[in-house]
Chains A and B, each alone.
Chain A
Amino acid sequence: MLLFLCRRIVTMVLTMLVISALVFIIIQLPPGDFLTTYINELQSQGESVDQAKIDFLRQQYGLDRSLVERYFLWVFGMLHGDMGFSFEYNLPVAEVVGDRMTLSMVLNFATILFVYIVSFPIGVYTATHQYSWGDYGLTFLGFLGLATPNFLLALILLYFANVFFGTAIGGLMAPEYLDQPWTTGKMLSVLEHLAVPVFVIGTSATAGMIRRLRANLLDELQKQYVVTGRAKGLPPGRLLLKYPLRMALNPFIADIGNMLPQVVSGSVIVSLVMSLPTTGPMLLTALQNQDTYLAGSFLMFLALLTVIGMFLSDILLAALDPRIRLQGGTQR
């Protein structure tokens, strides 16, 4: 087991290295760099640009060095917690991102929690009451959730939240708390504002999860060992919890790895619509402006989430399923 963990961690580090190289190269791929974009912008506004100033900036930003050199500087910096410098904001990336990262994490973890808490009981219910009215009704709702575009749902809900609860539109906190230190009031405000985005971002994931859990559980309920359990005289509830549900959990857990990045990147449009101060919209502009280090940091963050998510789900799976734990090393 320990060996397995070590091997996994080594592969994780290697994966991250490969991803960082890819990310860096892809961001640099389009012709030009941040400065050319910047100069174009200035010129379109009718200002002339001094070549000496450009050279100065180029040197200042380190854009005169080779790609490889810059890459290693970047990676080396990240290992020390220095994520580089954002051209766009003229600030270190860490400062630009700052609160946004925290808020993103809060939002995303709330969403994942929401997805699990809602989809789990509904999935179990629809599977155990297959073809009942409850199943049909919840399944219908689930399909609605899958089919409705998120941003539309966001707009509708924002409207209602404002009309009925007086929650301010947009943002993750009331305007008066912006740029204020964290207080209880601010936290409560964040929680209040969290509800709508969490619901909006989580709906389709929830609906998908319900469908998957229902299908898995239905498969498991057909299995012979369920009959064995009934033949033992187990009460239905205990039987369900101990055997088929436990088996149906596997794909549920294996999904964690996929869900983390999905929720992060899937929320970009919603964040734009609802003007949430999360990382999504910023990533978009950073990519548009070729703000190398800002975009790179975001993408690395996403990759890190994926890799960690996969790692977590693997460990959980091994802990839960003895077949994986004990047979992992052998083939056939």
Chain B
Amino acid sequence: MTDLLRVNDLHVGFRTQGGTVSALRGVSFRVRAGSTVALVGESGSGKSVTAQAIMGLLPRSARITRGEILFHDEALRQSPLAPAQSDGTVDLAKLDPTGPGFRCVRGDRISMIFQEPMTSLSPLHTVGDQIGEVLLLHSGVSRGDARRVTVEMLRMVGFPDPARAFDTYPFELSGGLRQRAMIAMALVCRPSLLVADEPSTALDVTIQAQILRLIQDLQAELGMAVLIITHDLGVVANVADEVVVVYHGEVMEAGTLHDIFDRPAHPYLKALLKAVPHFDMKPGERLVPLREIRHQTGHLLKQDGAAAHSAQGADKAKPLLDVRHITKSFGTRKGGLFGVAPKAGIRAVDDVSFHVLPGECLGLVGESGCGKTTLSKILMRAVAADEGEVIFDDGEKRVDLLKLDDSALVAMRRRVQYVFQDPFSSLNPRMTVFDLVAEPLVIHNIGDLAYRREMVAELMRVVGLDPRFLNRYPHSFSGGQRQRIGIARALALKPRLLLCDEPVSALDVSVQAQILNLLKDLQKELGLTYLFISHNLAVVDYMADRIAVMCAGRLVEMAPREALFRNPMHPYTKALLSAVPFPDPRRRLDLTALMEGRASNPQAWPEPFGILGGGRYDMVDLGGGHFVRARECPALADLLEAAS
């Protein structure tokens, strides 16, 4: 049997001002018909460039300098345009990527889905228009037939009402549905190879699991091969037959899934496997980042900082942050000429209460749109809450953060600081690192210049950066280094509490391990308290002492880490836990617990968790600090009995 796709000794170079930079240096692998091959690597490893080369979508500055991409497809033998050899094999590397020959392969025989379902579809055209276009281009069907086939395809990828979906615009769909539309677009011509570039990275875990299953189902149904490109070893373990590991433009290791996971030979792969947080980690086990960073704390930070407070033995049982009944709704703008509609609409945060004890790390988990970011913004006072209070009590003063006036709030900012998600946009590109890190000191008028210099240098060492970098601008740092600068800035005021809103979700896995370890060490050394917000359960599991799960604006479950993973009570928590892919081929996802994607819909929760019906609906104590949101009804009694 001939291979469907064979990449031989592929070299790709990028022309830059400083000469040619080679992105791929002799990549070779093959894809058998109907199989799934995973291309794994960090960002910048060349995995996406490989996909672009296969698709003929390389950027203008890139050139294939050597090697061949042999694609074999019986259908190409009949095609008059494709310059295939008599056996139906075509070398894509030699084909003009903009020419008609390549165009009749691309989109028809090989198609591609992309990472970002939000931006991959044009917002100005209906879903049906964009999918049907592929058919009109390649199969020469009539418009009516194209519509029929497209609707059929939409049904196949799981649109509940495909005929209606045909005429919707992409922005009217959720992220998961958009990715389904994208898949429909890629598969409508029944290609023999699907290239999927991080198809589920931008999606929530439960949606990710659904999309991965969908791709697998369709693959079996249509008999196509899939080349999946990902950095997520969990995804690899769940879908791939064969794995190709790339690093710096070269193939490090290739083999079947079990070979790769059971006997990783190359040190890079071994290191990668150790750098990913997973649920089976023993308590106290540390992640091993690819490049460990060394850091040291200095005397200035310890001086009357948080560490000093905890050394005084502040009351450990008294919460540092006590969030009570926070509610926030966003209204839709309607109403008359000048009128503002009355507050109605979506409850982004619905009666959320929790507390954070000094020195602990509370993890807040939830999917996008569950209200966790709104909640963090309320805590930052960037958004005003409709109801509720946030009591901050560090032993000196007890204040309600939400009622502080402006001047008191400025003073309060010294105790609570923030680490943001995007290390690129959270640092002003026109300020040097020194100015960035020193800015909080300047704003709060702390110390003289000499003190600030010393403090900033110390902060740099604390996050493991060389103080000699202080004159540089943010653009000369990598994402991980920038995030460390952001952490240094947050620490400048010696806060008691750090609010970390998805601090590692924009980073590569290897860098992610660095940052997580750094945050963990700093917490211990400086006696910090964290509220750690993330969508990634494994990350939260690694960081947090207690975990709170949010869904649809509500806190549904809160428990110590082990209790939550050992004994999740709430259907949503269960679905969330079961949707996280393990980097272990023997533990593939159990998709039945996903409730067909309805787990995040409160209406679908069974008793006693459902929101319908009367009775008190509140957090119920299951003992041992394990709380779950439930309604008072007979089913709750059974639940309590089972728990005890």
A: which residues have CB within 8 A of B? 7, 10-11, 223-225, 227-236, 242-243, 246-247, 320-323, 326-327, 329-332
Contact = CB atoms under 8 A, between A and B. Distances in A.
7 contacts: A228-B182, A228-B185, A233-B105, A233-B106, A233-B134, A233-B137, A320-B124
Nearest to B131: A232
Contacts of B331: 331
B333 A331 contact: yes
A227 B120 CA distance: 8
B120 A228 contact: yes
A233 B337 contact: no
Interface string B232-272: 00000000000000000000000000000000000000000
A331 B119 contact: no
B133 interface: yes
A225 B120 CA distance: 4
Contact of A230 (B57, B104, B126, B186): B57
Contact of A233 (B108, B122, B169, B182): B108
Interface string B497-514: 000000000000000000
Interface stretch (B4-12, B109-117, B306-314, B400-408): B109-117
A227 B169 contact: no
B134 A232 contact: yes
Interface of A is mostly: helix
A228 B332 contact: no
B354 interface: no
Given A228-B114, A235-B103, A329 B119 contact: no
A5 to B, nearest CB: 13
A323 B133 contact: no
A232 B108 CA distance: 7
Contacts of B122: 225, 228-229, 243, 246-247
A246 B137 contact: no
B438 interface: no
A322 B104 CA distance: 31
B169 A326 contact: yes
B190 to A, nearest CB: 14
Contacts of A232: 106-107, 111, 133-134, 137, 185
B395 interface: no
B16 interface: no
A323 B173 CA distance: 12
Nearest to B124: A246
A228 to B, nearest CB: 5
B121 A225 contact: yes
Contacts of B337: 7, 10-11
A186 to B, nearest CB: 45
A31 B105 CA distance: 78
A320 B124 CA distance: 8
A323 B126 CA distance: 11
Nearest to B108: A233
Contact of A236 (B98, B107, B126, B138): B98
Interface string B177-194: 000001001100000000
A223 B119 contact: yes
B334 interface: yes
A224 B120 contact: yes
A321 B121 CA distance: 14
B279 interface: no
Contacts of B125: 242-243
Interface string B319-336: 000000000001111100
Contacts of A329: 332-334
A127 to B, nearest CB: 14
Contact of B106 (A10, A231, A320, A327): A231
Interface in B68-125: 98, 100, 103-108, 111-112, 114, 116, 119-125
B523 to A, nearest CB: 34
A242 B129 CA distance: 11
Contacts of A323: 123-124, 169, 171
